[in-house]
Amino acid sequence: MSRARSSRRPRRSRRVRIAYRWLALSLAGLGSLGLVLPLVPTTPFLLAALWAAHRSSPTLAMTIRRHRHFGPVIEAWEKHRAVPVHVKVIGIGLMSLSWFKLWWFDAPTPLLIGLGAGFVLLATLLLSRPSPPKHAAASPADPDPPS
């Protein structure tokens, strides 16, 4: 196959593009829920939303990449496989708050043990990821990021 032919984007039907757009918006919505709900991950949903957005509309993909909250998290993950420190703190804090709230309201012991083990695993995963370098923490709207 020639190089020029393999580099061209396939032309998708209007229905397929609409389906990808709805998928992208739905996944971005689930990622938004992850900002406030401790058990809903943000980054995987946003990466999947970006994947679907690329297949529906380059404009939508750029909108997600340039979003003031989502953009830096996506960039840190794609470039460095890193999780910003504030995301780690919020995630671990919300997981802890959820567990203690369940404990306070006398949730069943097996539930507390299961969720506690799951939260410890998630916290370990979060803490094992590096933090992005300082220059990568600059927002995409920053005209002059530090070098």
84 touches 73 (CB < 8 A): yes
pTM beyond 0.85: no
Out of 12-26, 41-55, 95-109, least confident range: 41-55
Domain ranges of the chain: 11-137
Q: Which two tokens stand for residue 121?
A: 């695993």
> Rounded CA gap, 105 and 20, in Å?
42
> Rounded CA gap, 73 and 4, in Å?
33
Coil, strand or helix at 2: coil
pLDDT digits (tens, 9 = 90+) for 56-91: 888 888 888 888 877 888 888 888 888 888 888 888
pLDDT digits (tens, 9 = 90+) for 88-142: 888 888 889 889 999 999 999 999 999 999 999 989 988 999 998 876 444 444 4
As a whole-number percent, the residues of the chain with pLDDT over 70 amount to: 83
> Rounded CA gap, 54 and 50, in Å?
6
